[in-house]
Amino acid sequence: MSDNGHQQDEHENVPSRQRRRFEGISSRTYEHPADRSALVALRKLSGFDTVFKVLSGLLPERSLRLLFLSDSVRVSDAQFAHLNTMLRDACHILDLEKVPPMYVTQDPQPNAMCIGLDEPIIVVTTGLVELLDEEEMRAVVGHEVGHALSGHAVYRTILLFLTNLALRVAWIPLGNIAIMAIVTALREWFRKSELSADRAGLLVGQDLKASMRGLMKLAGGNHLHEMNVDAFLEQAEEYEAGGDLRDSVLKILNTLPRTHPFTTVRAAELKKWAESRDYQRIMDGHYPRRTEDKETSVSDSFRQSAASYATDVKNSKDPLMKLVSDLAGGAGDLGGRVRRGFGGFAGGTPKDQTAPEDRTSPKDQPPRDSTPEDDD
């Protein structure tokens, strides 16, 4: 018997302890604005619809299902029963009617994924199961159920296929370039979708501390006694604000090949969302329903996402983003700002000096722009 008085059996999705349930919740509730924006961009890629239809018939989805069925352990009441309970809990809380199959596969690397075109499949590794405690694992299962509810599994499957295909056709210059362009766009979308799924995991677990502990363990292993949440979040702030324009460029280059955002960034983004008014409204029962999804305007969603991007750029402490924000606000002296931003890179002048050709009299200098300090 669960805490809310419902008899629990293998056909019911009822939580093992009392948590708020979000009946009829739309995935729009927790999706990061950049996630929605990236999805719109993907669908507008030239020829993407044609590629998708072709891939739907080529992807070895049946092979994947048979592979996991034959060489992994399927979660059920008889196998990994505690994970099965978490899975039913997550589907009950997010009101996902059909519980997706879930497998545990032998792999020391902590990882989890949700793939599949027709129906999603959730896969977690033994490394992850052994690393996380019950509440941390509950957040991860909710994360993957969030992927399933949002329909992310389809694009994840295509990303895996195209990445492998790109490796096989690397010797064909034009073919490889075309495929890698799609892979790069898919990776950008998938990084944003991970932020959405982190939010779904929080809605399922309803324990921010557990979510943060899980992310720290993914970064530093099972050594919680050696780690501190505040110090971990300070790393994210230092990563965003530190360095000059060279570091901004290196951040972009480091991020491009990844399918997931960096762990400290995920932790900071999740904490910020958990402290927002939007999250509190969801917990109070005010959220979009799936019945309203058809009425949602794609153009309105795109405008909201664009506004979110603009706000992120404006509030960002990253040197490159601050430069973009200043220029958008009408700041002058672009050449000087770029030179100072790169800190004398490639033989430029030191930060505290001005090259002779840049020296002008006070009356010829453009007025200095005053940028207010960030509220946060």
Cα 187 from Cα 38, distance rounded (Å): 10
Q: Quickly tell me which residue has 């060279």 as its tokens.
A: 246
Known catalytic residue at 292? no
Distance CA 321, CA 328 (A): 10
Q: Helix %, strand %, coil % for the chain, to 5?
A: 60, 5, 35
> How many CA atoms, within 13 angstroms, populate the side-chain half-sphere of residue 271?
19
Sign of CA dihedral 100, 296, 261, 41: positive
Where do the DSSP E strands lie in 5-120?
Answer: 73-74, 102-105, 112-115
Q: Which amino acid is at 264?
A: T
Tell which residue, 121, 87, 81, has the closest CA to residue 103. Answer: 121
- Active-site position among 12, 119, 135, 144: 144
Q: How many helices (H) and strands (E) does the chain have?
A: 16, 4
As a whole number of angstroms, the distance between CA 91 and CA 110 comes to 23
Active site residues: 144
